[in-house]
Amino acid sequence: MRCVVETKVKRAGIYSVLHRGHRPPHKAILQEGDPFPECRRCGTAVAFEFLEPVIESEVEHIGYDPDFMNSILQTFAKAS
């Protein structure tokens, strides 16, 4: 099932991140309760698919990916 920007992550885990043509799919960790973030290049056209539960040593959190860093930081700034 594909998940879209700004809906809440229902299950922490590794997700496939599907961009709108500017880069190939990649994996990222998303935490339960966080909103799915916008991509700095393809905005809300990005989609996410759950792959498996989190094993943090295998992939980085999406907040460290340059395409999502600003979106993640803005989300945390709004929450505080």
d(CA 80, CA 7): 19
Q: What's the pLDDT at 37?
A: 94
Could you state, in chain order, the average pLDDT of each consecutive group of 10 residues for the chain (80 residues)?
92 93 92 91 96 74 82 75
d(CA 71, CA 42): 12
d(CA 73, CA 63): 8
The model carries a pTM of 0.70
Q: What's the pLDDT at 55?
A: 64
- CB-based contacts of 58, cutoff 8 Å, min separation 6: 14, 27
Q: What's the pLDDT at 5?
A: 95
Q: What's the pLDDT at 44?
A: 94
